[in-house]
Structure 1
Amino acid sequence: MAAAPTPLDRFLQRLLEDDPPRAQSLCVSLLGDALAPHGGAIWLGSLIELLEPLGINERQLRTSVFRLVARGWLRAERHGRRSLYRLAEHGQRDTAHASPRIYEGAKSAWDGTWTLVALPRIGNNAMAERAELRRELLWEGFGMMAPGLFAHPQIEAGTAHDILQKLGIPDKALVLAAQDLAGAGGLPIASLAAQCWNLEEVAGQYRLYIRNFEPLARLLQDDSPEPAQAFAARVLLLHHWRRTVLHDPRLPAALLPAAWPGHQARALCARLYWQLFDGSEAHLDRIAGQDNAHYQALGNAAFKRFGGRDTQA
């Protein structure tokens, strides 16, 4: 006779029913957060075993990893009848690029310097390039101050140059550093923040995250999860966090509305992440580490996430 579901089981099931994760996106969350620190290699069967309890069946997962291989995000190796998947260079680069946004957040200090990207009006034969550059800059967190002019208060110029290089158009835009001279009578750039970034939408996503996971904080006060429960909860916690925080433009506190919910959401995620960490790692070691010579022990970097494990004691 099967054991009755625990309150944590019911919480996880409700979360999955209310917002079913897409297989490929959940796979990226798991690989980036849980597998990358262990070397980024896993047998397909182990990946299926880890994700099936989260509503991802074998067919969905096979389709997802096939697409990630096609994108150059994963690479596959055949070992007899078994398939081993590793983070490819593209996946490693994306994971490393997203990690500061996920685990560190915006810098607290700001010296008032802005990074500007200006697109000169040179004919109409590069509209596709301009549209692609605009998408990349907006995703990175830049705001559009005026047609063809993008700005961010903390992203360094090197990031903008990297985007231009990736798109193959390093000579098609100007990358500048600027200081706000509104004291001389001009319009302060900061006054445009609400127009250039949809902060209310981002704030709403943070509030939803808090509503979704505050019940988990109460559940963990009452009981310690089993390793499989801890792993499932960690994956969903981080997956929802990644989806939320990667839409945050990471503005300094001086440009954010009062009582910014992102601070509360990040603190909640960090606290829960470390509460679930040991149990989830035990489950991961048992499944992903089984018969996997490429599975590595955690390095120190993993314990520095969210400001460091010791800060959440």
Structure 2
Amino acid sequence: MPDLKPVSTRSALLTLLLGAEVPRLTTRELVAAASVVGFAEPTVRVALSRMTTAGDVVRDEEGAYRLSERLVVRQRRQEEAAHPSLREWDRTWDLVAVTTAGRTASDRAELRAALSDLRLAELREGLWARPANLDLAWPEAVSEVCERFTGAAPAAEPASLCARLWDLDGWAATARRLLDATATDDPVLRFTACATSGRHLLADPVLPASLLPDDWPGDALRASHVAYKQWVVDMRRSLTDGAA
């Protein structure tokens, strides 16, 4: 059985909110769903209070909770990770060159994070690349300081280059452990795997199939994650409807 780090109450509640099909959940809905996966009501209520103070969630006049704007962006990223916008790969690559100098360390770190979020990898300092098989929405923060190109592969053997730019074996090994966990009957372990897989999918480079190792588990993990999220939604609905 995979050795997964237990999620905190905060992470569990964020998983429920990030995966919800509606923009807001009531305290009753969150308490009911969290109880199924091992979190007691007093712990949930304390966590919600702390999350409100920290700006993770916003509590409305009716006492329901919604994600803060910062976490709405994360929700959008997780949804895109579960349903990536693919296009047929014509063997070209997206290349991004950083052209603006004199930026602060904080600015450089933010740019690196933005380029990583776009599933690019750093080929060498200031030059980022990936196969051009994704429809990417380029944020203004990237366009302001970078030049973008689309061209031929920057290596004679693009599959070998991908293996160097991304830890494909490590990502696949973790994905397979998560898939094993979601196949168990233990509700706490399955929920932990779902919460973890949401984060893990953000690191999937989503490469063309011809550049991936055999038996790549990316599609299987996405399907498992989506199916389990729907189960959580159905479970939450049944609990709150039954208590009505």
1:178 maps to: 150
Q: How many angstroms does 1:130 deviate by?
A: 1.2
- For residues 131-280 of structure 1, what are the structure 2 equivalents within 5 Å? 131-153=109-131, 154-159=133-138, 161-162=139-140, 164=141, 170-174=143-147, 176-180=148-152, 187-216=156-185, 235-236=191-192, 238-269=194-225, 278-280=234-236
Counterparts of 2:43 and 2:150, CA distance in 1: 51
Q: For residues 69 and 192 of structure 1, do their structure 2 counterparts lie closer, same or farther at Cα, with a shift above 3 Å needed? A: farther
CA contact (8 A) 1:106 1:252 kept: no
Task: Give yes or no for contact 1:26–1:239 (8 Å, CA) kept in 2.
Answer: yes
Distance 2:228 2:44 in 1: 28
Partners of 1:196 and 1:214 in 2: CA distance: 31
2: CA distance, partners of 1:60 / 1:272: 21
Contact 1:114 1:151 in 2 (8 A): yes
Return the structure number with greater helix share: 1
- TM-aligned CA deviation for residue 245 of structure 1: 1.4
Asked if structure 1 preserves the Cα contact closer than 8 Å seen for 2:97 and 2:146, the reply is yes
1:111-167 Cα deviation digits (max 9, x unpaired): 2232222113624x52321122112322442111111111122344533x34x16xx
Q: Which runs of 5+ in 2 are unaligned?
A: none
How many residues end up aligned between the 2 structures? 242
Deviations 1:80-139 (A, max 9, x none): xxx32123444333323321212x24637322232222113624x523211221123224
Q: How does 1:54-93 map to 2 (within 5 A)?
A: 54-57=37-40, 58-59=42-43, 62-63=46-47, 66-67=50-51, 70-71=54-55, 73-79=56-62, 83-93=63-73
Match of 2:96 among 117, 138, 160: 117
Change (3 A) 1:93 1:270: closer
Deviation of 1:18 (Å): 5.3
- Secondary structure at the aligned position of 1:215 is classed as coil
Name the CA distance, whole Å, in 2 between partners of 1:272 and 1:59.
Answer: 24
Deviation at 1:193, TM superposition (A): 0.5
The aligned amino acid for 2:10 is Q
- The one-letter code of the counterpart of 1:114 is W
Partners of 2:166 and 2:31 lie apart in 1 by 39
1:56-91 deviations in Å (ceiling 9; x for gaps):
3434653456336644x5222245xxx321234443
Deviations 1:16-40 (A, max 9, x none): x953112222222111213xx23x2
The letter of the residue matching 2:14 is V
Contact 1:118 1:150 in 2 (8 A): yes
State whether residues 92 and 150 of structure 2, in contact with CA within 8 Å, keep that contact through their aligned partners in structure 1: yes
- For the residue of structure 1 that corresponds to 2:58, the secondary structure is strand
Q: Quick one: which amino acid aligns to residue 265 of structure 1?
A: L
Where structure 1 has 5 or more consecutive residues not aligned to the other structure, the ranges are 1-13, 220-228, 291-313
Is the alpha carbon distance of 1:157 and 1:109 closer, same or farther for their aligned partners in structure 2, counting shifts above 3 Å?
closer
What percent of counterpart residues are identical? 23
Question: Residue 115 of structure 1: SS of its match in structure 2?
Answer: strand
Alpha-carbon spacing, 1:271–1:70, altered in 2? closer, same or farther (3 Å): closer
Displacement of 1:209 after TM fit? 1.2
| Structure-2 separation of matches of 1:275 and 1:52 | 15
2:32–2:236 CA contact under 8 A, matched in 1: no
Structure 1 position 25 matched with structure 2 position 11: yes
Q: Provide Cα deviations, 1:225-263, integer angstroms capped at 9, x if missing partner.
A: xxxx7xx78754532321321221211212111121223
Give, in whole Å, the separation in 2 of the partners of 1:192 and 1:152.
10
Structure ID, larger Rg = 1
Alignment-derived partner of residue 101 in structure 1:
81
Name the CA distance, whole Å, in 1 between partners of 2:19 and 2:200.
15
SS at match of 2:137: helix
